[in-house]
Amino acid sequence: MKVALLIISLLLIAIVLLQSGKAEGASSIISGGNLNLFAQRKERGGELFISRLTLALGLAFLTLSFILGF
């Protein structure tokens, strides 16, 4: 069970690093230069798959963590 948690955590780290950032730069957020930051951006194709995979891995990690905790 601990090996599965380790594998899921490594996959979760890798998939989060693969995701594209929603904000193009931190300096533009602070200065207000990014006007389209909160615009509706629809995910398509690979981006949607990575987003759903992140959600699934996160839920699996949370579930296994609770199981091993009790």
The domain in which residue 43 lies consists of 2-69
CA distance linking residue 5 with residue 8, whole number of Å: 5
What is the average pLDDT across 32-61? 79
CA distance linking residue 7 with residue 12, whole number of Å: 9
> 0.75 exceeded by the pTM?
no
Higher pLDDT, 65 or 41: 65
How many Cα atoms within 13 Å fall on the side-chain side of residue 20? 9
| Domain total of the chain | 1
